[in-house]
Amino acid sequence: MKVARIHQHGGPEVLVYEDAPEPQIKANEILLRVGACALNHLDLFVRGGIPGMKFDMPHVLGSDIAGEVVRVGELCERVKPGWRVLLSPGLSCRQCAQCVSGNDNLCRRYTMFGYRVDGGNAEYIAAPEYSAIQIPDGMGFEQAAAVPLVFLTAWHMLMARANLQPGEDVLVLAASSGVGSAAIQIAKLFHCRVIATAGGEAKLAKARELGADHVIDHYQQDISAEVRKITAKRGVDVAIEHVGTATWQKSVESLAPAGRLVTCGATTGFDAKVDLRFLFSRQLSLLGSFMGTMGELHRVLQFVFRGQLKPVIDRVYPLAEIRAAHERLEAKEQFGKVVVVP
């Protein structure tokens, strides 16, 4: 089969499109013919190398995967050959106390396709049967691949961590990202007022199309000052943060008394600072969030499959042109998901 993988860490030039053996499946696994695989910033981080982490080489990236089931192992009972499915990006042991309690994203062995195991930048992938979720007949593989990681992440941030309430004010940083575009839609689903940030008029216009009530150009405007104007100096109830140090302070300043800031990433750096006086006197909550549970994925997919939440696809590339796909994501040129197809 054809595969795009890395043999060493580095820039987009380390991605190699080459031949590799077709994966062999275990008794509890399925073999999926990949129809599409969406990129995430995780692909960029792993490709570049993560301090303190060692990856087996060669390594195949790609966490968001959709395709057709070719065959199943002898212990598989639910999934059938010919099914059109997406894969849950998260993998866990399914046996520990956290897993059986429904908190599989807290499993000590939790990982993702494209991270500690090979991902979907290939023509075929072996996957545990439990990870396969059947998709509607009318949903294309490109659409399906653009959903799992970002909608699961945004749902867990808003619903499980921030305990979002209908009608609240929500600040969404980086609306052009996959998580940002998903968070806008989920917040609007619960009748919240959404303030979104993005860079440039084109991206701001697209944020409005997704449902953002107000937009802020984070390159040209002061985020917290604009939030105070929009909210009559009150601030927002919830801030969805994943940019990191570049926006962290402004996100904290944008919170209303008893506001909640939820972060799932540190794209621009991790060394953020907090004024503890501001934290306790305004009774703020700073919450970490990582992926989400399998149950939450099924829940948010109900809204996706009904058409109430929609994946945003920026551009689709052939797998052979994966370097260009990485370059577009790395240059922050996209709005929504960049997808590759074998």
Scanning 89-222, the segments in alpha helix (DSSP H) are 97-100, 141-145, 148-155, 178-189, 201-210
Task: Please report the sign of the dihedral spanned by the C-alpha atoms of residue 110, residue 115, residue 117, residue 122.
Answer: positive
End-to-end CA distance of the chain: 10
**Of 46, 29, 215, 7, which is closest to residue 129 (Cα–Cα)?**
29
3-class DSSP assignment, residue 45: helix
Tokens linked to 189: 């689903």
Tokens 């990191």 locate to 244
pLDDT at residue 315 in the model: 97
Cα-Cα-Cα-Cα dihedral of 257, 262, 265, 267, to 10°?
Answer: -30
Q: What is the spatial distance between Cα 141 and Cα 255, in angstroms, rounded to a whole number?
A: 38
Q: pLDDT tens, 24-53?
A: 999 999 999 999 999 999 999 999 999 989
CB 240 within 8 A of CB 172: yes
pLDDT at residue 339 in the model: 98
pLDDT at residue 269 in the model: 87
Superfamily of domain 151-288: Medium-chain alcohol dehydrogenases, catalytic domain (3.90.180.10)
pLDDT at residue 267 in the model: 85
pLDDT tens digits in sequence order for the chain, 342 residues long: 999 999 999 999 999 999 999 999 999 999 999 999 999 999 999 999 999 899 999 999 999 999 999 999 999 999 999 999 999 999 999 999 999 999 999 999 999 999 999 999 999 999 999 999 999 999 999 999 999 999 999 999 999 999 999 999 999 999 999 999 999 999 999 999 999 999 999 999 999 999 999 999 999 999 999 999 999 999 999 999 999 999 999 999 999 999 999 999 888 888 999 999 999 999 999 999 999 999 999 999 999 999 999 999 999 999 999 999 999 999 999 999 999 999
3-class DSSP assignment, residue 226: helix
* CATH code for residues 2-147+311-341: 3.90.180.10
Q: What is the spatial distance between Cα 158 and Cα 105, in angstroms, rounded to a whole number?
A: 16
3-class DSSP assignment, residue 210: helix
pTM here? 0.96
pLDDT at residue 14 in the model: 98
Cis peptide before 58 (omega within 30 of 0): yes
Question: Which residue ranges does the chain devote to CATH 3.90.180.10?
Answer: 2-147+311-341, 151-288
Determine the angle formed by the axes of helices 148-155 and 178-189, rounding to 10 degrees. Answer: 50
* Main-chain phi, psi angles of 5, to 5 degrees: -150, 170
pLDDT at residue 151 in the model: 98
What is the total residue count of the chain? 342
3-class DSSP assignment, residue 341: strand
